[in-house]
Every structure is written in structure tokens, then in C-alpha cells.
Amino acid sequence: MFVERFLRFLPKNNLKKAIGFLNKGDYRKACREFEAYLDHPGELSAGRDQELIRMYMVESYIEYSKKLDVDGETSAAAEQLEKAIELQPKYADVHYGLGKLYEKAGNRVNSRESLKRALVINPNYFKARVLLSRSYWLDGKYDRSTEELVRSLSASPAFFIEQVQELNGMVNNDPGNEDIRDLFWKLLEERPSSSQVSKQLALESIQNGDYDFALAELRKSLSLHPDYPDLHNMLGIAYANTGSTDDAIMEFETALKINPEYLKARLNLALSLYEKGAREESRKNLDLVLRLDPENELAKNLMKELSPVRSER
């Protein structure tokens, strides 16, 4: 399997265990092993030295947080997102998610701070703006609430504009109206797009080894969002696991055309080229990875595998 071959180039330590658990969807154990890996000084360098590992860790913390939230462990879920933000502070979605958890726990001050950080990163984050408005309304700060609603209009989906305007009028003129609560709820209700649903189904299918189903769902998602490098990378992984190496290479290359610094796709491309026997091309891609991330253990281990070939020349 592609994932197993990928893991073969990791050193036999907590990092390998962590990524193994992540690929299986066991996020609690993945987080635990990542943290054990970090207990060794200097394991995760500053800057971009370990960007790939950071990405994996952030993904683990986010997914584990979702599970804890579903299980009713709101404070523990918030702690996981705090760890994710410490590693990657520029994800507006993570700040928004943390704001929701703080709000659920009754900590509106911290909730608003998280939402404001999300809006600094993305001023057009509609739901963050609406949730911030709701927080002010709940605390009786009606002027601040309407201010945020007015700001949200420029980022509002067209089908929500009328509801935002209606809500703004109510908060201005009748802030005690019970319908306000329902209007806020409707604006904030989670409605995953068909693309998001397909992506999640594909991820679960890859983890469960159902690659044909993953291929179908990813194609659906890409028909709506052809410029998402993550989707092309996932499609490449699904192809690689069905033995369609050329198709996998094409998808990894497409992801890299969209984002040339996408290290996960670059490593996947290098591994696929290695499996195909195109070792020189594999080495070129590993050189690019190591130029951005000199301490990347995956890339270094695969490069060692290629070194005998180079020495024969």
C-alpha cells in the first residue's frame, strides 16, 4: 500500500507511530505520539524545517478536538485547538473553531478574542463576524452587535443578505425579541458543502482502504473546486493505492502547479516516481523538499535509498 511504503522511510520512533495512527484515524494516539516526539529537544525546529510534520500535527489536534467536542468534553477539545494554534497560528478556521468552543463553555471574553484573531487573518470570514455579533448581543452590547452585522454584509452569501438585514434591524430596534436567537442560529447553522462532504467521505475511505469509492468522491469534489491542491493530493494517494502510478503522479504534479511549496504533495510525488523507477526525477523533487526543509526525515531517508544509484554513475 502507498501509505505503508510512505511510512517505510520514516525513522522508527514516535514520529512514525504518530503518522501511522493519524492515517488510521486514531487521532488521540496520534497526538500522544507527536507529543512524545516533541519531548526530545530540537525535534521540531523553528521556521520551515519541519513544515510537513507541523501540518500532520495540526491535522491531528483538529480532528481529535472534533471527537472530544462530540463526546461533550468541551474544555479538552479547546485545549487541542490551542495546541494546533501554537504550531500554526495563521489558520482562521482553527481560531473560529476555538471561539465556538469557548462560547459553548460560557467564556465569551476568550471566544471574542479568538473570533477577532480569525477576522484579522480573514476579514471576510462571514460566520466569525456573525458569531462575534451574537456574542455582543448576548452580553447586551447591542451597538457592537449591529456594527459587526453591518460589517458582515460585505462578506455575506447572497442568500443570507436579507436575513442579515432583518437581524440587524431587530437588534437595533427590538434587541429583546426572541426571534433574534433563531435568526442567529440559522446564519450560523453548519451546512457542509457537497464538496466538503465528498472530501470527508474520501478521506475516511482512504483510511479504510476503499480507494475506488475515494476516487469517485474526490472526482465529485474536484468538479466543484478544481484549484484545491489538497484534493489533487488526496486523489493522487487514492490512485497510488490502486496501482495507477501515472495518474497519481499527474495529480501530485497538479497540486504542485497550484502550490509549488506543498511539501506533502512534493514528497508523495517523489515516492511515486521512486516506485515507478524514475529515480533521478524522484531525487530532483527530494532536493526541492530538502531545500525548503533541510531536516525533513522522510526526504532524507528516501534520499539515502537513492544514494546507491547515484554512486554507480
Q: Is 214 in the same domain as 89?
A: no
Tens-level pLDDT at each residue, the chain (313 residues)? 455 555 555 555 666 677 777 767 788 888 888 887 766 545 444 433 356 677 778 888 998 999 999 999 999 999 999 999 998 898 888 999 999 999 999 999 999 999 999 999 989 889 999 999 999 999 999 999 999 999 999 888 777 899 999 999 999 999 999 899 999 998 998 665 556 666 777 777 777 788 888 898 888 888 877 878 888 998 999 999 888 999 999 999 999 998 887 888 898 999 999 889 899 999 999 998 888 888 777 788 888 887 764 444 4
What is the Cα–Cα distance from 246 to 103, expressed in whole angstroms? Answer: 48
What's the domain count of the chain?
A: 2
Q: Quote the cell numbers at residue 210.
A: 476503499
> Which residue's entry shows cell 482553527?
94
Q: Is 184 in the same domain as 199?
A: no
pTM confidence score: 0.60
Q: Name the nearest CA neighbour of 214 among 226, 229, 231, 194.
A: 231
Q: Is 81 helix (H, G, I), strand (E, B) or coil?
A: helix
Q: Quote the cell numbers at residue 119.
A: 477576522
Domain termination residue (choose one: 163, 188, 213): 188
What is the Cα–Cα distance from 33 to 29, expressed in whole angstroms? Answer: 6
What is the Cα–Cα distance from 255 to 151, expressed in whole angstroms? Answer: 34
Q: Is 55 in the same domain as 183?
A: yes
Q: Is 9 in the same domain as 127?
A: yes
Q: Is 177 in the same domain as 289?
A: no
CA distances from 61 to 110, 221, 303, 308 (A): 19, 24, 30, 38
| Structural domain that includes position 21 | 2-188
Q: Is 183 in the same domain as 262?
A: no
Domain termination residue (choose one: 153, 188, 223): 188
What is the Cα–Cα distance from 108 to 93, expressed in whole angstroms? Answer: 18
> Are the CB atoms for 236 and 226 separated by under 8 Å?
no
What is the Cα–Cα distance from 313 to 308, expressed in whole angstroms? Answer: 9
CATH number, domain with residue 67:
1.25.40.10
Identify the pLDDT of residue 45: 47
Q: Is 175 in the same domain as 27?
A: yes
Q: Name the nearest CA neighbour of 235 among 280, 259, 263, 269.
A: 269
Render pLDDT for 46-84 as a digit per residue (tens, 0 to 9): 433 356 677 778 888 998 999 999 999 999 999 999 999
Q: Quote the cell numbers at residue 253.
A: 504534479
Q: Is 275 in the same domain as 200?
A: yes
What is the Cα–Cα distance from 226 to 220, expressed in whole angstroms? Answer: 10
> Which residue's entry shows cell 471527537?
67
Domain termination residue (choose one: 155, 188, 221): 188
Q: Is 231 in the same domain as 304?
A: yes
